[in-house]
């Protein structure tokens, strides 16, 4: 091997090490995500009772939008199929695409955003373990839209799990909605990092559409959405404050600006 080729080889190894390490972190997070959902209490009665308390709170605040949205998504087949595909796909695909794009923007932008996503997910998983909550589709009067259109895609009758793999998902992982939370994370990232207006608008559109879809399909209560947004905001601010405490005030301001700017 010539000195020049050896130098190129040595440069290639570090260049691969970082993306492989990041992939390992995200795969580890997904493993924890899956394991924690399976370890959660699957007792239905207390989960339904918690869902009832959430609905009581929504009704007292005139925020109970689940019935009209669920009825709308049930009456129009095209809307039900579209929302089913959105629920089963966008949560993973859009987040992954934005992560890859963000990685290419450089470590100073990628790392704090990735840390916020990981922290928000861990907070959500902790809630699944401590307060398992039934989604609307478990309550009489609500329709499981994904189950209604399960022949149109790869999902079965068990949430958005691929057909035949329903036993691999925790159907009482409703509070908070990480579907809504991850979508808000996407919107914040694009608001802070993207340089073109259409990308920022697309990010906020993704967050709003996801919020409507998770409620309309009978998979989450409105307060699940609010809680999902809440864990992301808390994680985003914690990462910003941590960066400030180690003397990186400029990056911290850039991160916090994602919470302060208007979409």
Query: What residues contact 238, with CB distance under 8 A and at least 6 apart?
Result: 116, 119
What average pLDDT does the structure give for the chain?
82
Q: What global pTM score does this model have? A: 0.83
Number of domains in the chain: 1
Which tokens in the block code for residue 37? Answer: 């959902």
Is residue 176 reached through a cis peptide bond, with omega within 30 degrees of 0 on the bond before it? yes
Integer Cα distance of 137 and 147 in angstroms: 10
Torsion angle, alpha carbons of 238, 101, 182, 92, to 10 = -140
Q: CA 220, 227, 39, 27 torsion: positive or negative?
A: positive
Identify the pLDDT of residue 172. Answer: 83
Query: What residues contact 185, with CB distance under 8 A and at least 6 apart?
Result: 95, 113, 116, 117, 120, 232, 236
Integer Cα distance of 85 and 152 in angstroms: 9
For 120, what's the count of Cα atoms within 13 Å in the CB-facing half-sphere?
Answer: 29
Residue 155's φ and ψ, nearest 5 degrees, are -85, 155
Range of the domain at 195: 3-260
Confidence of residue 67 (pLDDT cuts 50, 70, 90): very high
Question: Where does 40-135 have alpha helices with state H?
Answer: 44-60, 66-75, 77-103, 107-130
Looking only at Cα atoms, what is the longest distance across the chain?
76
Encode pLDDT of 125-184 as tens digits: 899 888 999 999 999 999 999 989 888 777 766 655 555 554 556 778 899 999 999 999
Average pLDDT in the 70-84 region? Answer: 95
Encode pLDDT of 43-54 as tens digits: 889 999 999 999
Listed residue (174, 194, 177, 176) closest to 186, CA to CA:
194
Q: Which of 11-15, 73-77, 124-128, 244-248 is the least confident region?
A: 11-15
Encode pLDDT of 110-130 as tens digits: 999 999 999 999 999 899 888
Integer Cα distance of 258 and 39 in angstroms: 34
Bridge partner list, 133 = 173
Torsion angle, alpha carbons of 180, 205, 213, 109, to 10 = -30
């Amino acid at each position: 091997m010539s000195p020049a080729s050896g130098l190129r080889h040595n440069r290639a190894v570090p260049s691969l090490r970082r993306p492989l390490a990041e992939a390992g972190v995200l795969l580890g997070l997904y493993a924890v995500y899956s394991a924690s959902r399976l370890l959660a209490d699957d007792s239905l009665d207390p989960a339904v009772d918690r869902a009832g308390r959430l609905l009581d709170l929504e009704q007292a605040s005139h925020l109970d939008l689940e019935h009209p949205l669920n009825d709308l998504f049930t009456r129009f087949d095209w809307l039900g199929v579209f929302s089913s595909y959105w629920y089963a796909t966008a949560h993973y695909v859009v987040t992954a695409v934005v992560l890859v794009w963000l990685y290419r923007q450089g470590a100073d932008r990628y790392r704090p955003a990735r840390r916020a996503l990981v922290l928000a997910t861990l907070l959500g998983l902790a809630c699944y373990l401590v307060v398992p909550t039934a989604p609307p589709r478990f309550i009489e009067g609500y329709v499981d839209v994904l189950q209604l259109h399960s022949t149109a895609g790869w999902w079965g009758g068990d949430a958005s799990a691929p057909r035949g793999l329903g036993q691999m998902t925790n159907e009482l992982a409703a509070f908070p909605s990480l579907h809504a939370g991850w979508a808000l994370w996407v919107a914040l990232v694009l608001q802070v990092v993207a340089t073109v207006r259409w990308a920022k608008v697309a990010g906020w559109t993704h967050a709003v559409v996801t919020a409507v879809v998770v409620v309309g399909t009978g998979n989450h209560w409105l307060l699940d959405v609010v809680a999902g947004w809440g864990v992301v905001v808390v994680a985003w601010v914690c990462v910003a404050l941590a960066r400030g405490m180690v003397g990186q005030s400029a990056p911290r301001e850039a991160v916090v600006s994602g919470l302060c700017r208007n979409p």
